[in-house]
Structure 1
Amino acid sequence: MKDKALIVISETNINLKIFEKTHLIIGIERGCLDLIKKDINIDIAMSDFDQVTQEELEIIKSKAKKFIAFNPEKDYLDGIAAIHYLHDKNIKDITMIVNPSKRYDMNLTIIDYVFNYNVKIFNEKSVIFKLNSGENVIDFNKYQDFTYISLFSLKDNEITIKGMKYEVKNIELKAFNSLAYSNKFLPYVDPKISIKDEVMLIMTK
């Protein structure tokens, strides 16, 4: 079995074909329909499927190699339940395609995904992942299409930023504070972000 997984929750214009050879492809809810539309093999379709019609559900069943229907009265959201399933299979390198929702509570789940499960999240406008304590170097060439770079911490933290528009040295970043929001790359410079404790990095176009 592959040791990496791609969880697709949202419909996007992202080319997902590049993941087929390297990742186990997991479809959640309407993410399954996006994979089907893109003609990408679904290794596992899993969800409570309360956001699809009966006709769409039958299509998903016919296209997925494996189909797992969750009880709607489960303890976890679909995405978290999928991560638990993958962890049970010893797959911990997980990337998730998900768009922001009109529901703020659902948007806040990215904090759980990133900090507790080390999931990398992206969509057409953003990429979000965890930086561990110590010095982190960000590859400008890989992320130069993104405009804004923000850091979010769950703990009182200390940060040093070099090689970005706004540089700081050993400043205090309070938990849940927006002090480190909306920084920017310098052209062709790989910035260095040093942190006392882990943070969530959010890049937005």
Structure 2
Amino acid sequence: MPEIANLATIAAAFFVAAASPGPATIAVISQSMSAGRRAGLVFGLGLSVGLAFWGLVAAAGMGAILQASTGALTAMKLLGGAYLLWLAYGSARSAARPRAVTPEITKRPRAFLRGLFLNLSNPKAVFAWMAVLSLGLGDGSGAGGVVLATGLCMVLGGVIYAGYAVAFSTRGAMGVYARARRGIDGLVAGLFAVAGIGLIRSAFARQ
């Protein structure tokens, strides 16, 4: 079993990786500001389940197999990039509207599935998991240590996404969004587009 200090190292590294600005955090912030706390929490739950899936893949040792499979990795990057561009298109359409409309993603099943697919379509997540787990797990950690560290990070991921949803669904945050909706949606569209193009370009980069 890993020592407390090793678990703390893993948790700190995972927190930095999961809480740092990226497509998932941008998406849950945008969703929470535009559609409210419930929609943001459900969307964050979908993100958490997708993130947990990649954690299980990494913990089972399949991450290295995926990393070595050029064809599968390229296909996943293309799929993930296309999904990010689709999200960019949706945000751009929202920014172009003169008035806000009730977002379809407020429907809970759809919000959950969109969050889930966003993290499932991000192959970089499994590599991040592999890097984080390797920081605090040694050869003597055993299966129990891997399970404990992975479970800790799964819980932490859920807390991070829920925290973003709560923080950005306050009356003040939603008021800011209402006043600057078109600019915020335009910025989000640009960020999604940059991330999507970057992921697609990486699919064609020389391995």
Structure ranking higher in helix proportion:
2
Normalised to the residue count of structure 2, the TM-score between the two structures is 0.22
Higher relative contact order, chain-length normalized (CA < 8 Å, sep 6+): 2
Q: Which has the higher strand share?
A: 1
Q: What's the TM-score once normalised by structure 1's chain length? A: 0.23
